[in-house]
Amino acid sequence: GGAYQHTITTPATDTTYTAIFRDATGSGTGLYGEYFPNTSLTALACETNEGIDQDCGTEAPLCGTLPADGFSVRWSGKLQPYFTEDHTFYVDADGGVRLWVNNVLIIDSWGESSAERTSSILSLTGGSLYNIKLEYQDITGVARARLYWATSGVLKEIIPISQLQPSKVITPPPPPTVATPTFTPPGGAYTSAQSVTLSTATVGAQIRYTLDGTSPSSGSALYTTPITVSTSTTLKARAF
C-alpha cells in the first residue's frame, strides 16, 4: 500500500505499546476508462482499464484514434480506502475536471486550467467500496490527469491501481496471429550448398531460427539475410 504516517505521544512514565498491522491493499485493476474524440463525452473511441496517472504531453492518447487536442475521458468504478479516516482528493490536471466520490460532486472545475484542484474533506471507511467517477477534457496544449488522495495517516500519493475497481472489465484482445515462415527453397535433399530465404506474410514480424533442430524462441538468432546451408542441417524458424 501507500506510505503511512504515525504520530505517537509518549507519557512521562514508561509504557508498553502494542501495534497491530494489517495489509489494507486491495486487489483492484484500475478504473474503467472511456475515451472520446471530442469534449462532450460522446462517440466512444476506445475503452481501457487503468489508473488515473496519465500524461500525454502534447501528443494524442495511445487509445484508439483520438486528436491531440479536444478530447475527453471518463473514468468510473469503485474506490477502496485503506483505513477509516478523513480523506482529501487532489486532481493534478491540465484541462477541465469533475470528480465524484460516493455519488457526491467534490471537484467541479470544467474550464481549461493547469492548476491542481483540491476537494473538501470526506470521511470514508477503510475496506469499503465507494462509487468514483472522474471526467476530464483536454481543450488545447498539454494533456495531463493524475488523481491523488491523502489522509492524516496516508501521505499524499497517486491513488494506487490496487485501490480502484472498474465499473466495466475490458478483456484485452488476443495477440495477433503471425503467419508461419516459408522456406525458399523448401526442405529436401540437395547435391550442392543452398541459400535459404525465410519470409512471412505478417508485415512487421520478426523471424527467429535455429540450426540444431530445437524450437526457436524469441531469444533465438534473428533472420536478416539468407542462410547458407552446405551440410545436412535441421533448420527451424518461427515468426514473432
pLDDT per residue as tens digits for the range 72-115: 999 999 999 999 999 999 999 999 999 999 999 999 999 999 99
Taking residues 221-225, what's their average pLDDT? Answer: 96
Return the half-sphere exposure (C-beta side, CA atoms, 13 A cut-off) of residue 101: 25
Q: What is the pLDDT of residue 143?
A: 96
Confidence of residue 172 (pLDDT cuts 50, 70, 90): confident
The whole-angstrom separation of Cα 134 and Cα 75 is 5
**pLDDT > 70: percent of the chain:** 93
- Average pLDDT over the chain, rounded to an integer: 92
In this model, does residue 1 exceed pLDDT 80? no
Q: What is the pLDDT of residue 117?
A: 97
List all residues 6 or more positions away from 31 whose beta carbon is below 8 Å from its beta carbon: 49, 50, 51, 52, 75, 76, 77, 132, 134, 164, 165, 166, 167
In this model, does residue 214 exceed pLDDT 70? yes
DSSP lists the bridge partners of residue 11 as: none
